Amino acid sequence: MATRNAAHAIPVSPRSLYLAAVSTSDLDFNVDLTLSTEASAMAAQAAISPSDSDALWWRNAVIYQVYIRSFADGDGDGTGDLAGVRARLPYLRELGVDAIWFTPWYASPLADGGYDVSDYRQIHPAFGDLDDAEALITEALALGIRTIIDVVPNHVSSEHPWFQAALAAAPGSPERKRFWFHPGTGPGGDEMPNHWISNFQGDTWTRTTQPDGTPGEWYLHLFTPEQPDLNWEHPDVRREHEDILRFWFDRGVAGIRIDSAALLVKDSALPEVPENPRPGEHPNTDRNELHDIYRSWRRLADSYPGSRVLVGEIWLPDTQRFAMYLRQNELHTAFNFDFMARRWDAGALRESIDATLAAHAPVHAPATWVLSNHDVTRPVTRYGREDSSFAFATKRFGTPTDLALGTRRARAAALLTAALPGTLYIYQGDELGLPEVETLPREVLQDPMYFRSNGVDPGRDGCRVPLPWSGSASPFGFSESSAVAPWLPQPASWAALTVEAQERDPSSMLWLYRNALRIRAALPDIADSELAWLESRSGVLAFSRGDEFVNVTNLSGEHVPLPPHAAILLSSSPLEDGWLPPDSTAWLRTQR
């Protein structure tokens, strides 16, 4: 990556030459940010209905994650559903997203929010049915929005017919071979087969009970006991998943988000986890055999017209091992959690950006930029904390938070990530600046992470509270009738954060996102050009993308001057005498 020099100077004439109506003056986020006709036309052009010929759409797409239970309730039962999403598609179009990723929408007992699937070919009745899903895919596409669905291949629900059949069958039976059933060790088989630790804390084995009431074999579950792990050495498992992919590709989905993508394959000897496993030798994570599975998924995806993409949920600290999944004949992209987990610190973020781009370059895969998702603490809350990094292990009730500071930084982070090369993910509600809800009464919490930590870890319900759309009291337009209680209660303070309230306020988070996405869609440099770091003061992340665009993010704690520019396109907080305040990002146009 090249480094370019740029002198710092107070801008002489920052009156916008570009996107004239983005700014009516020096760009101050209090001004009306409505786009000019010219810019709107460009943005509309960028969002025309997708066609099969747009084969590279996924390389710089903006992908919006819908956590379906909490997006919008169309049928008035307090739970979000497909009808709710269909009714809000114009909102997503207006926001400027290219695709929606739906968290699992299948039949499920919801022991883990739908990541416990009992039938991959049926929609959960609370969310709608297959006809609704097909209509949604078609309607979204007509608005230029593709659909990505979540496939959960590591495990199924304990209610899945395969697991029910396995429980009913005898030890050693073909039904049990699709899972990891195993006799216990120790006297009477009372000890579990090994001591792997669950991703949700606690044990990974549960003992079955035989028809005569005596204890039987154990079965493996890397998550909850309601999520038994599949045995990926079994041909039925591979066949079934390829069939599930076909089922949904046939219905027009443009991509698959692969849940827990690095966990599927296990060492069948089930050894304990060694202290420092060598790459590829961990008994249940990142095993070499996974690549063969994804190569065959890629062949399947490539056999469909248009680009059907595979996106891996891959949490691996080793960036080289991570990048191996992104080789040309494997997955298209994978979530970049390293950046998301970093603290709000220029050095830490720059290191992550550099490491990410360096890891992706050799495999020619685009990076992804993710500020949050349905599993992690919302950015507005996280960045308002003394420790602004993210780790599952450190989540605690009652962590002090400065939400004003967090919001300011989340605004800056939103522009920073939208300016980086690659795919951008936005988790529903981040565009509204929703904080983590940390005041949920304990009796409404549902997340197994809370229960399995014996109430020490608050779990993930706080980032899954139903969205506020309008009005001044719960359910804030989430359900039409105010008599309906949403499945998780919304804080009264969300009256100020509804879509309706934010649409009226040009300085809102919603308008910041809308304007950022419009500019991103209209500027070819943001899509294609390499990132080049500019010389800057310590604590400042300044880089160009092409000849015309510069991003400056100030994490230094002091106001900083901006590099020379022709116009200010957008800024996450108002400039002061042309200087960029702390915890802010400005987007500059450097040339006509």
Binding site for ligand GLC (CB under 6 A): 112, 115, 152, 223, 259-260, 313, 374-375
In contact, 82 and 136? CB cutoff 8 Å: yes
If you write DSSP's letter for every residue of 33-67 in order, what string do you get? -PPPHHHHHHHHHHTSPP-TT-TTGGGS-EEEEE-
How many other C-beta atoms are found inside a 10 Å radius of the C-beta of residue 260? 21
Cα(249)–Cα(243) distance, integer angstroms: 10
If you write DSSP's letter for every residue of 124-142 in order, what string do you get? -TTT--HHHHHHHHHHHHH
State the nearest-atom distance from the C-beta of 333 to ligand GLC, in Å.
Answer: 16
Cα(550)–Cα(586) distance, integer angstroms: 8
What's the Cα-to-Cα distance from 214 to each of 208, 217, 228, rounded to whole Å? 9, 10, 21
Beta carbons within 8 Å of 210's beta carbon, 6+ residues apart: 216
Nearer to ligand GLC, 35 or 152 (CB): 152
Beta carbons within 8 Å of 97's beta carbon, 6+ residues apart: 62, 63, 64, 145, 426, 517
State the nearest-atom distance from the C-beta of 230 to ligand GLC, in Å.
Answer: 12
Cα(400)–Cα(384) distance, integer angstroms: 8
State the nearest-atom distance from the C-beta of 420 to ligand GLC, in Å.
Answer: 22
What is residue 592's DSSP assignment? -
State the nearest-atom distance from the C-beta of 64 to ligand GLC, in Å.
Answer: 16
Nearer to ligand GLC, 175 or 375 (CB): 375
What is residue 374's DSSP assignment? T
In contact, 281 and 274? CB cutoff 8 Å: yes
**Across the strands, what pairs with 584?**
554
Nearer to ligand GLC, 378 or 518 (CB): 378
State the nearest-atom distance from the C-beta of 355 to ligand GLC, in Å.
Answer: 22
State the nearest-atom distance from the C-beta of 260 to ligand GLC, in Å.
Answer: 5
**Across the strands, what pairs with 229?**
155
List the one residue out of 397, 434, 327 whose CA is nearest residue 71: 434
What's the Cα-to-Cα distance from 264 to each of 162, 229, 273, 295, rounded to whole Å? 17, 8, 16, 14
What's the Cα-to-Cα distance from 22 to each of 27, 36, 98, rounded to whole Å? 8, 7, 22
**Across the strands, what pairs with 146?**
99
Question: Rg for the chain (alpha carbons), in Å?
Answer: 24
Nearer to ligand GLC, 217 or 259 (CB): 259
How many other C-beta atoms are found inside a 10 Å radius of the C-beta of residue 41? 12
- What is residue 154's three-state secondary structure? coil
**Across the strands, what pairs with 423?**
368
Nearer to ligand GLC, 487 or 494 (CB): 487
Nearer to ligand GLC, 152 or 465 (CB): 152
State the nearest-atom distance from the C-beta of 425 to ligand GLC, in Å.
Answer: 12
What is residue 582's DSSP assignment? T
Which residue is at the shortest CB distance from ligand GLC? 115
Nearer to ligand GLC, 26 or 259 (CB): 259
Nearer to ligand GLC, 156 or 534 (CB): 156
Nearer to ligand GLC, 338 or 375 (CB): 375
* Full 3-state SS string of 408-441: HHHHHHHHHHHHCCCEEEEECCHHHCCCCCCCCC
State the nearest-atom distance from the C-beta of 104 to ligand GLC, in Å.
Answer: 8
State the nearest-atom distance from the C-beta of 259 to ligand GLC, in Å.
Answer: 5
State the nearest-atom distance from the C-beta of 193 to ligand GLC, in Å.
Answer: 21
What's the Cα-to-Cα distance from 47 to each of 59, 116, 275, 517, rounded to whole Å? 15, 35, 50, 11
Nearer to ligand GLC, 265 or 353 (CB): 265
Nearer to ligand GLC, 150 or 583 (CB): 150
State the nearest-atom distance from the C-beta of 317 to ligand GLC, in Å.
Answer: 16
- What is residue 294's three-state secondary structure? helix
State the nearest-atom distance from the C-beta of 459 to ligand GLC, in Å.
Answer: 10
State the nearest-atom distance from the C-beta of 116 to ligand GLC, in Å.
Answer: 7
Nearer to ligand GLC, 155 or 176 (CB): 155
Nearer to ligand GLC, 257 or 518 (CB): 257
Q: Which parts of 261-341 fold into alpha helices (H)?
A: 290-302, 319-324, 337-341
In contact, 543 and 550? CB cutoff 8 Å: yes
Nearer to ligand GLC, 330 or 375 (CB): 375
Q: Are strands 146-151 and 99-102 parallel, antiparallel or unpaired?
A: parallel
**Across the strands, what pairs with 151?**
258
State the nearest-atom distance from the C-beta of 199 to ligand GLC, in Å.
Answer: 7
